């Protein structure tokens, strides 16, 4: 039985990506996959990382009107910190496509991170 606010499909906040205490190596990347996001107007959440260095950890999201691209919109969020500091950001990103792909494309040093991205309906 759906909850009252989810009777209209897409009218509830939906976790798309949830990673608690994950690790990515220096020079590495992490793929979170593609999601059908046409029912969501924006993405919200947070990204917290430890010891990401000066260049930082880069979270990219790409939007397309068809599965697999081509991608019409690409955007990224960068978190930077010192050698041992925690750093983070609150995410509030607009959705521009029917399909959205999320990934970490680069990190300056081996880092531990926590990430949550929610699909948000119209506010």
- DSSP secondary structure string for all residues of 31-94: EEEEEE-TT-SEEEEEEEEES-TTT-EEEEEEEESSTT---SEEEEEEE---SS-EEEEEEEEE
Q: How many CB atoms lie within 10 A of CB 95?
A: 18
pLDDT of residue 91: 92
Residues found in the chain: 123
pLDDT of residue 12: 76
pLDDT of residue 23: 87
pLDDT of residue 59: 92
Reported pTM: 0.83
pLDDT of residue 3: 54
Q: Is the peptide bond before 70 cis (omega within 30 degrees of 0)?
A: yes
> 23-41 burial string, b = 16+ CB within 10 Å, else e?
ebeeeeebebebbebebbe
pLDDT of residue 92: 93
Q: With respect to CATH, is domain 27-120 assigned 3.30.70.270?
A: no
| Integer Cα distance of 63 and 100 in angstroms | 4
Answer positive or negative: Cα dihedral of 7, 9, 11, 14: positive
The pLDDT averaged over each successive group of 10 residues in the chain (123 residues) is 52 86 86 92 91 82 91 89 74 92 88 91 76
Q: Which residue has the tokens 């205490």?
A: 21
């Amino acid at each position: 039985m759906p909850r009252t606010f989810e009777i209209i499909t897409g009218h509830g906040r939906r976790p798309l990506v949830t990673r608690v205490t994950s690790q990515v190596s220096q020079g590495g990347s992490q793929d979170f996959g593609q999601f059908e996001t046409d029912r969501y107007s924006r993405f919200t959440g947070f990204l917290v990382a430890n010891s990401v260095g000066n260049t930082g950890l880069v979270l990219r999201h790409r939007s397309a009107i068809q599965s697999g691209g081509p991608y019409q919109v690409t955007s990224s969020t960068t978190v930077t910190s010192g050698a041992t500091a925690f750093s983070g950001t609150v995410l509030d990103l607009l959705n521009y496509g029917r399909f959205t792909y999320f990934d970490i494309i680069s990190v300056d040093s081996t880092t531990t991170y926590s990430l949550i991205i929610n699909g948000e309906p119209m506010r």
